[in-house]
Amino acid sequence: AQSVTQLGSHVSVSEGALVLLRCNYSSSVPPYLFWYVQYPNQGLQLLLKYTTGATLVKGINGFEAEFKKSETSFHLTKPSAHMSDAAEYFCAVSEESNYQLIWGAGTKLIIKP
């Protein structure tokens, strides 16, 4: 069965520092990959997605992620963290066979002033 692993339930970075949130998946076929963000007291919203084509995907708010098939990874990065990036980030994977999203456990991003 498909699974998604997000390394680190909490990640703390200083304002202006690089943000790196890790996501690994298990899949025998090329998946569709997503990153969602959840700000406090809100629902989730899509940051970016990979379906086909270019493996480096750019999303909203300066975030990007790279699909690496050989490493079964889809890590999320942002060059310079802002206080407004403090939120919980979820990685998700789906397969074309059933269109269901499999979710990671989420990573809370903490930004230190």
Partner 1 sequence: KAGVTQTPRYLIKTRGQQVTLSCSPISGHRSVSWYQQTPGQGLQFLFEYFSETQRNKGNFPGRFSGRQFSNSRSEMNVSTLELGDSALYLCASKPSVLNTGELFFGEGSRLTVL
Q: Which residues bind to partner 1, rule: CB under 8 A?
A: 32, 34, 36, 41-46, 49, 51, 90, 94, 96, 98-101, 103-106
Nearer to partner 1, 10 or 18 (CB): 10
- How far apart are alpha carbons 90 and 69 in whole angstroms? 19
- How far apart are alpha carbons 68 and 82 in whole angstroms? 26
Smallest distance from the beta carbon of 18 to partner 1, in angstroms? 25
Smallest distance from the beta carbon of 95 to partner 1, in angstroms? 8
- How far apart are alpha carbons 82 and 110 in whole angstroms? 10
Smallest distance from the beta carbon of 66 to partner 1, in angstroms? 20
Smallest distance from the beta carbon of 14 to partner 1, in angstroms? 25
- How far apart are alpha carbons 75 and 4 in whole angstroms? 12
Nearer to partner 1, 20 or 46 (CB): 46
Residues in the chain: 113
Nearer to partner 1, 42 or 70 (CB): 42
Indicate the pairing of strand 73-78 with strand 56-58: unpaired
Nearer to partner 1, 84 or 97 (CB): 97
Residue carrying structure tokens 């949130």: 21
